Amino acid sequence: MPVALISDLHSNQESLTKVLADIESQGIKDIYCLGDLIGYGPDPRFVVEKAMNWKLSLMGNHDEAVLKEAYGFNPVAKAAVTWTRDQLRPGFLSGKAKKEQWAFLQNLKLTHQEDGALFVHGSPRDPTMEYVLRSDCIDLTGGVPEKIKDIFSRFERVCFAGHTHDPGVITEDSQFIHPKDCNYEFTFEPGKKYFINIGSVGQPRDGDTRACYAIYHGDKVTWRRPEYEYRVTMEKIFNTPQLDPRAGERLAHGR
């Protein structure tokens, strides 16, 4: 059965609502989230509550930072982590729902494997923090960069990730293929390995304002781009003084 793969939701209620409706319209029951439920956006409790019903949710770097500390985060991201922690961390008098959401975050897995597929937030080498970028595919000598070789040596058949917010396929010979270049569908060749970035639901960064998620069919992956009211999310961010307005402004540019 196909599985919906979502990542980098970033507390964006409007985009997640549209994505969940689109998943349901495809008749898909199972949802795997590859991390970053929270951070940047204005609705962390809504997103975490939804995630508690999915088949799988992994730990992202923003989830980890809210639980621990925001080491190495830029000021926009760090401000959101601090505010999000205040929204989610229960106190002695907090209700059952808030305590359950916090416990859910604490128990998120780092990785998941099944049928030759590895699911992570960042990379096989560092599940929460390492970025695998399209620029990593470039080698001045024309060969395959050592980073790409090492990453490919760490999974069996296909690795799915998020983290960069930039959807696409990286091949064993270090080619990057954007979804629009393959008509939003990529079929796996037998015997070959692929690193697949599924894109971002809550904060796309490939120049497209639409939410992005993927469907894994076993022998292929397809991407879907539902439109959502990003201006509503922007206004929520602008009306939350603790969140940096730049986290909202970028939604209008998909960057």
Instruction: Provide the CATH number for the domain around residue 160.
Output: 3.60.21.10
- The count of structural domains within the chain is 1
Three-state DSSP class for residue 183: coil
The kind and range of the H/E element at 222 are strand 220-224
Residue range(s) defining the domain that contains residue 90? 3-252
Lookup: tokens for 36: 């970053």
Let me know: does 36 contact 10? Beta carbons within 8 Å: yes
Q: How confident is the model at residue 46 (pLDDT cuts 50, 70, 90)?
A: very high
User: Average pLDDT for residues 209-218, to the nearest whole number?
Assistant: 98
Instruction: Return the pLDDT at 39.
Output: 96
Strand 220-224 relative to strand 185-187, pairing: antiparallel
Express each pLDDT in 57-106 by its tens digit: 999 999 999 999 988 899 999 999 999 999 999 988 889 999 999 999 99
Instruction: Return the pLDDT at 99.
Output: 95
Spatial strand order of the sheet with 185-187 comes to 56-57, 31-33, 3-6, 213-216, 220-224, 185-187
Express each pLDDT in 124-156 by its tens digit: 999 999 999 999 999 878 889 999 999 999 999
In sequence order, what are the beta bridge partners of 223?
214
The three-point CA angle 16-19-22 to 5° equals 155
Q: How far apart (Å, rounded) are the C-alpha atoms in residues 234 and 149?
A: 40
The 10 Å Cβ neighbour count of residue 221 is 25
CA 164 to chain centre: 8
Instruction: Tell me phi and psi for residue 80, to 5 degrees.
Output: -70, -35
Q: How far apart (Å, rounded) are the C-alpha atoms in residues 45 and 80?
A: 14
Q: How far is CA 155 from CA 107, 127, 170, in A?
A: 24, 13, 13
Q: How far apart (Å, rounded) are the C-alpha atoms in residues 82 and 144?
A: 40
The 10 Å Cβ neighbour count of residue 38 is 30
Q: Model pTM greater than 0.85? A: yes
**What is the DSSP-derived secondary structure letter of residue 126?**
S
Instruction: Return the pLDDT at 92.
Output: 86
